[in-house]
Structure 1
Amino acid sequence: MLYEHLGARPRIHDTAVVAPTAVISGDVEIGAGCQILHGAVITAEGGPITLGAHVIVMENALIRATAANAVHIGAHTLIGTLTSIAGATVGEEVFFASGARIFNGALVGARCEVRVNAIVHRRAVLPEGTVVPIGWVAVGDPVQLLSPDREAEIAAAQPDLDFPGHVFGVDRDTPDLMVQLTERYGSSLARHAGDVLVPDTREGR
């Protein structure tokens, strides 16, 4: 299903294939030969999304851009089932295994591998060819790769990330943080009430 959001419609190459249960919303450009499988959601929430040629987005994956962080996915990248990519820039020929999580402002270099349930944290920078092992966490620039049992080291990297401030515009020390966060974010998401379902007018569709 294709939706116009905030006045922008998805632009899909004639040779791309989008499953009927996938959702493509807003300022999204999908390149030649891409495959978007069932249940995938690609949604431009105020920032653009670009998929290069021959990107594969597997079932139930999520790609989301924000006003603060656009998304670019390089050619010949495979995005596994249940993977989530929010506001990140990804090079060519990258492999995201099932359940990988890529957060706002991350830069993932060409030919990286982010394995099952691994996390690339906000603003982490993965040099070309980096492998993030199963379940591990990539943090920082220069990047640190940490196993999930190293909680203290992962936590030590968190305050500088300022996830609430950067993504939602709310100071982490606000006493009613979740009240402010949900109200601001909810107001932004409510703009989808005006979305318009648009037909896929590509040749042969």
Structure 2
Amino acid sequence: MSPLILPHRGISPRIHPEAFVAETAVVIGDVEIGPGSSIWYGCVLRGDVNTIRIGANTNIQDGTVIHVNRPRDGSDYRDSGGGMATLIGDEITVGHCALLHACTLEDRAFVGMRATVMDLAVVEREGMVAAGALVTPKKRVASHQLWAGSPAKLMRDLSQEEIDGFAPQAKHYARLGATYLQERRQRFQGDGAES
């Protein structure tokens, strides 16, 4: 069984060979996934009316939905240069069942389980969105801040210990994704099929 990776309007997802995409994930359209990143079970990444970019060693955990937004005038984003992409950097952890919609996550950001980050919101480098939080449109979670609640607001500054924990979490998932990818390749080789 392979993940459902589909083109839309002639644009196919571009997935690095060393990225892991789980068998029940769905990746559509103008999506790019970098090396060492992992897209886990039940995730949906739909880059149909704009682009989704995911950097290196980022983990998108089970059940997460990532979408984009179109230009407000209804035109095609490729013609107008408008609309709202979803841009996700390197070494980011996105917890289970999160919703990311036309937002930006900078390197080493952390988004907790069932959190929502909305249109044009930005989570800066090493910023943290708590589990269940709702970051409303155009809000900015600054570096080294924890935002929580619905709607989310600044709760406090992160401790150095919390900040230092982001990179090991991302590295753990990069290693875990690599083991799944290796086992998939071994299964395909055992079946005589190509990976």
1:19 is matched with which residue: 22, 30, 34?
22
User: Quick check: 1:31–1:51 contact (8 Å CA) kept in 2?
Assistant: yes
2:144 maps to amino acid: G
Could you say which residue in structure 1 is the equivalent of 2:7?
4
> Aligned-pair distance for 1:119?
1.1
1:137 maps to amino acid: P
2:38 is matched with which residue: 31, 35, 58?
35
> Aligned-pair distance for 1:45?
2.8
1:46 aligns with 2:55: no
User: Quick check: 1:44–1:66 contact (8 Å CA) kept in 2?
Assistant: no
Cα distance change, pair 136–145 in 1 and its aligned pair in 2 (3 A) = farther
User: Quick check: 2:146–2:154 contact (8 Å CA) kept in 1?
Assistant: no
Deviating beyond 3 angstroms after TM superposition, the runs of 4 or more aligned structure 1 residues are none
> Aligned-pair distance for 1:43?
0.6
1:137 is matched with which residue: 142, 148, 151?
151
Give the Cα separation in 2 of the matches to 1:123 and 1:6: 29
1:163-182 to 2 correspondence within 5 Å? none
Could you say which residue in structure 2 is the equivalent of 1:58?
61
1:11-160 to 2 correspondence within 5 Å? 11-67=14-70, 68-133=83-148, 135-138=149-152, 144-145=153-154
Give the Cα separation in 2 of the matches to 1:118 and 1:3: 31
Q: Using structure 2 for the length normalisation, give the TM-score.
A: 0.70
Give the Cα separation in 2 of the matches to 1:36 and 1:60: 10
Give the Cα separation in 1 of the matches to 2:17 and 2:137: 34
Q: Using structure 1 for the length normalisation, give the TM-score.
A: 0.66
User: Quick check: 2:141–2:147 contact (8 Å CA) kept in 1?
Assistant: no
Structure 2: gaps spanning 5 or more residues: 71-82, 156-193
SS of 2:12's equivalent?
A: coil
1:61 maps to amino acid: T
> Aligned-pair distance for 1:137?
2.5
- State percent identity of aligned pairs: 29
Aligned pair count reads: 142
User: Quick check: 1:136–1:145 contact (8 Å CA) kept in 2?
Assistant: no
User: Quick check: 1:40–1:58 contact (8 Å CA) kept in 2?
Assistant: yes
Give the Cα separation in 2 of the matches to 1:128 and 1:104: 19
Structure 1: gaps spanning 5 or more residues: 139-143, 147-203
Give the Cα separation in 2 of the matches to 1:20 and 1:111: 30
> Aligned-pair distance for 1:136?
4.3
Please provide the CA RMSD for this pair. 1.3
